[in-house]
């Protein structure tokens, strides 16, 4: 999988919410998701720089993942925001 191109599809305020998106929404669909920590605790960053915990998936599964995550957010199953549009 290291050679596959990844895209971030979801942003959460904390690691638990991001991991829930992977474990509860993506894994049952057979989509591998990876949590990427963009929180900067050591260095100050401007407000324009996005921070948080992001979930990345393979580009080929991005639309499917985004749609499932969007449904889960709307249903109140997880907290966060979908960061790419679903096809």
Q: List pLDDT tens digits, range 14-66.
A: 999 999 999 999 999 999 999 988 766 555 555 444 678 999 999 999 999 99
Q: Which domain, by its residues, includes 72? A: 55-87
- The pLDDT assigned to 86 comes to 44
Distance CA 72, CA 65 (A): 11
In a domain, 34, yes or no: no
In a domain, 2, yes or no: no
Of 58, 84, 64, residue with least CA distance to 5: 58
In a domain, 1, yes or no: no
| Counted domains in the chain | 1
In a domain, 72, yes or no: yes
- The pLDDT assigned to 36 comes to 86
In a domain, 44, yes or no: no
pTM given for the model: 0.81
In a domain, 45, yes or no: no
Provide the sign of the torsion angle of the four alpha carbons 62, 73, 38, 36, taken in this order. Answer: negative
In a domain, 75, yes or no: yes
With contact defined as beta carbons under 8 Å apart, do 82 and 13 qualify? no
In a domain, 6, yes or no: no
């Amino acid at each position: 999988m290291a050679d596959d191109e990844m895209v971030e599809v979801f942003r959460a305020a904390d690691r638990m919410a991001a991991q829930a998106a992977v474990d509860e929404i993506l894994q049952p669909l057979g989509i591998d998701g990876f949590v990427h920590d963009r929180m900067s605790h050591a260095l100050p960053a401007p407000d324009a720089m996005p921070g948080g915990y992001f979930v990345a998936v393979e580009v080929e599964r991005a639309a499917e993942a985004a749609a499932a995550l969007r449904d889960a957010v709307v249903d109140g199953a997880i907290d966060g925001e979908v960061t790419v549009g679903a096809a």
